[in-house]
Amino acid sequence: MSADGASRSRSKSLPARIRPRPATVVSVLSVLVGWQLLSLLFPAYRFPGLVALAGDLRLVVGGGTPFDPLVQFGATVARVLVGFAVSFFLATIWGIAMGSWTALRGYLAGPLFVLLTVPSVVWAFVGVIWFGLTEFLVPVFVVVLVVFPYLTVTIWEGMGDIDESLSEMARAFGASRRAVWRHVYLPQLRPYLFGVARIGLAVSWKLCLVAEVFGSATGVGVAVKYHFESFENGMVIAWAIPVMVLIYGADRLLRRLERYASRWQPETTGVRGMVE
């Protein structure tokens, strides 16, 4: 193939890689059309239309509200990332421990299932009582105590799905324990780890917003609470949209990383299949 032909081929294939999938475009357009149709059935102050919502979003991003958007969004994103990172780290250790050592499972499962039963609002109130209104502690506290148990259960289930015959074969050929973990266990756990990362990040954002409403002086949750008390429903939604877009972008990035890391593996069922 000539150089000109190769150049034309690359130029044609590049847009195909970055072009959104038709299903994604159709689903987004369906949501927007459905939203606009529903807005025609309700007063604007209850269910704002897309034009009104776009105007509110412009005010939020442009600083036309009592809150500095960079400060509020920056605080919320930082809390979400820290809370998620701590949750993911603890869940990975806890879940692997429960799946690896039967003797510890009973001791670790009890506290885990107790944490699973406590509502996030309760932790928000408890955090405010214990720590007061804080910049960082209460939101991260709530995110960790709610997200970590759910991620742990999924990783624990992933440990139960590991094919032990592969690890036995590796040991029979003299593989060290570290090599078995690196080349046998982790590749089989990878779909679960990516799955809980994507789900955990989205849930962390939702919980952080609730925690900020109750126990913080800055953040998107504080702005949402202010506009809610002012009966400005459009502004409530507009403040949430930028972070929603960021979380969606992070989810897409994690999905691409998962596909790249698992490019040598066939498609599997389980957590990876459920969240595709």
What pLDDT is attached to residue 145? 95
What pLDDT is attached to residue 187? 82
The answer to whether residues 130 and 249 belong to one domain is yes
- Which residues are within 8 A (CB) of 69 and not within 5 positions of it... i.e. 6 or more apart? 60, 61, 62, 63, 242
The answer to whether residues 110 and 7 belong to one domain is no
The answer to whether residues 139 and 108 belong to one domain is yes
The answer to whether residues 57 and 79 belong to one domain is yes
What pLDDT is attached to residue 6? 47
The answer to whether residues 21 and 85 belong to one domain is no
Q: Is 45 domain-assigned?
A: no
What pLDDT is attached to residue 264? 65
| pLDDT by residue, tens only, the chain of 276 residues | 444 554 444 444 444 445 567 887 888 899 889 999 998 998 888 889 999 999 999 999 998 889 999 999 999 999 999 999 999 999 999 999 988 888 888 888 888 999 999 998 999 999 999 988 888 899 999 999 999 999 999 999 888 888 777 777 877 777 777 877 777 888 888 889 999 999 999 999 999 999 999 888 899 999 999 999 988 999 999 999 999 999 999 999 998 988 888 776 655 444 343 334
Kindly state the tokens that stand for 187.
């590749």
What pLDDT is attached to residue 153? 92
What pLDDT is attached to residue 194? 92
**The domain that contains 228 carries what CATH number?**
1.10.3720.10
The answer to whether residues 17 and 136 belong to one domain is no
The answer to whether residues 11 and 86 belong to one domain is no
Overall domain count for the chain? 2
The answer to whether residues 28 and 88 belong to one domain is no
Q: Is 227 domain-assigned?
A: yes
CA distance 155 to 258: 16
CA distances from 140 to 64, 128, 148 (A): 28, 12, 11
The answer to whether residues 23 and 100 belong to one domain is no
Domain that holds residue 230: 50-275
The answer to whether residues 90 and 34 belong to one domain is no
Place of tokens 């709530």: 142
What pLDDT is attached to residue 67? 93
Q: Is 44 domain-assigned?
A: no
The answer to whether residues 195 and 258 belong to one domain is yes
Terminal CA-CA length for the chain: 37
Nearest alpha carbon to residue 102 among 60, 159, 45:
159
Single-letter residue type at 149:
P
